Amino acid sequence: MGGVTVNASRLGLGTLRRLPAGSRPLVRPGAVPAGIVHLGLGAFHRAHQAVYTEEAVAAAGGDWGIVGVAPRSTDVVGKLAAQDCLFSVTSSSGAGNQTRVVGALAGVRHAASDPAAIVALLADPAIRVVTLTVTEKAYQLDPATGLLRPDEAVLADLGSDRPPRTVPGLLVRGLLARLAADAGPIALMSCDNLPSNGERLHSLVGQALDLVGDGGDERIAGWLRDNVSFPGTMVDRIVPASTPQTLADAQAALGVSDLAALAAEPYRQWVIEDRFPGGRPAWERAGVVLTDDAGPWERLKLRALNGVHSATAYLGALAGRETIAEALEIPHLAGVLRRLIAEDVAASFAPPEGVSVVDYGEQVLERFANPVLRHRTIQIAMDGSQKLPQRVLHTIADLRAAGARPRWAALVVAAWMRFVQGRADDGTPLPLDDPLADRIRAALAAGRDSPAGVAQALFGLTEVFPAELASDDEVRELVVGWLTALDRHGVEQTLAGAA
């Protein structure tokens, strides 16, 4: 972190006193030494984990400042550095806005320009927790083996002596440096929207160690077992990408400009498996639920929130709606989403004790209808190949295992299949922003003639569709039925016909 910013009109330590009292940070950056390294400095981390951690430190103390690391983007690092790591979060709802500056970040770094500094941080005894929000695509697992499928960048990273550039590379080099420095135990906690995210991160690190040739080393394996934990978590808060309006709202509330401002819904939830061998912030003081098994919470959130989000995003984008709240106004969509939740999602898994999936789903629909958030359908639609499995296909697989028909979940698959063809119902082009975009386009080129051909071609993407699902005739028939209706009649008529 640099010195005090001397810019009278910009958020920074030098302008804190000018903020309205209710908007000031709970913790002054620089006053709390770093104990956490966070990889992935996007909007979600800053409006979720950073807010919780600041509240926990304000309530109970502890050296738990966060060093925020941006793996690639220099933009956010530059903006935060110019503001002494301060940024604001505006909680927005129909009931009004509330803006508060967050002081949780003790520093910011850009990994790509100084990877050695990140490795050194991971080997620093003061750092006892590493958290990650690096999105689904950073955890590429081979569906056949369940193991990490290293891409070329990871292989190049781990096979050379130069400083690492990928997330697995940084983690593995950092852990080996930590062992060499005898810097003590540490928890690595994935906060990405994936099932068993703790185990996945564990597997990712294990596979990466194998690739550097150290996986079989008993000393390293023993140290990892005894000193490094991988707690699973369920994270939840809707935080759309910031817009010029977000910055204007923040400026109006704060009286100074904040180029790193965020807007989020008021609701938030965090469930964490309590395994922290080097200690942790008193997150329970900020409302975090600590548990031994986050699995039921993850399934609930991925299937009843994220799956329904993706459904709304694909159907909404196809029907020409810009935001999730606007999409929810498509006649009959809310009714169809309620049936997806009640008939498919709720029947697919056992929720956490005492939780009703249908009630949870009602709350989700209310959150999606937030009129001021303007969460774009196109933003949620991106990376569909990485999101569909845990959000929708697991629901289908569990229903099939119980002999049930996944009628509504099949509609979501069909909506994705129509979305990736790149045209809305009125012919407007839709962007395909997905790490498998080339594979998807190649598959579509092979099966463009009919809905059945498109479905056949896309079911062949083994990274997305497990073999047993791709070869399930009943699922295929349902998907082709929906795809045919969407192709012929568009979203609005298809929903009207289904309701």
| Interface ranges with ligand CS2 (CB under 6 A) | 193, 236-238, 306, 309, 379-380, 387
Minimum Å distance from CB 345 to ligand CS2? 14
Cβ atoms within 10 Å of 376's Cβ, excluding its own: 20
Residue carrying the six token digits 């031994």: 292
Residue carrying the six token digits 């386009």: 441
Q: Is 490 left (phi over 0), alpha (psi -120 to 50) or beta?
A: left
Cβ closer to ligand CS2: 202 or 387? 387
Q: What SS3 state is found at 380?
A: helix
- What gap in Å lies between CA 113 and CA 337, rounded to an integer? 45
Minimum Å distance from CB 151 to ligand CS2? 21
Strands 34-39 and 129-132: parallel
User: Which residue of the chain is nearest ligand CS2 when measured via CB?
Assistant: 309
Cβ atoms within 10 Å of 79's Cβ, excluding its own: 17
Minimum Å distance from CB 310 to ligand CS2? 6
- What gap in Å lies between CA 295 and CA 271, rounded to an integer? 10
Minimum Å distance from CB 211 to ligand CS2? 29
Minimum Å distance from CB 242 to ligand CS2? 14
Minimum Å distance from CB 235 to ligand CS2? 6
Helices and strands, counts by H and E, the chain: 23, 12
Minimum Å distance from CB 89 to ligand CS2? 14
- What gap in Å lies between CA 52 and CA 58, rounded to an integer? 10
Cβ closer to ligand CS2: 214 or 265? 265
Cβ closer to ligand CS2: 299 or 309? 309
Minimum Å distance from CB 137 to ligand CS2? 12
Cβ closer to ligand CS2: 106 or 270? 270
Cβ closer to ligand CS2: 41 or 123? 41
Which stretch of DSSP H or E encloses residue 350? Answer: none
Cβ closer to ligand CS2: 11 or 388? 388
Report whether 357 contacts 346 (CB < 8 A).
Answer: yes
Cβ closer to ligand CS2: 42 or 279? 42
- What gap in Å lies between CA 395 and CA 304, rounded to an integer? 10
Exposed, middle or buried: residue 429 (CB in 10 Å: 0-12, 13-18, 19+)? exposed
Which stretch of DSSP H or E encloses residue 89? Answer: strand 87-93
Cβ closer to ligand CS2: 53 or 306? 306
Minimum Å distance from CB 209 to ligand CS2? 29
Exposed, middle or buried: residue 72 (CB in 10 Å: 0-12, 13-18, 19+)? exposed
- What gap in Å lies between CA 78 and CA 224, rounded to an integer? 35
Which stretch of DSSP H or E encloses residue 6? Answer: none
Report whether 139 contacts 201 (CB < 8 A).
Answer: yes
Cβ closer to ligand CS2: 44 or 87? 44
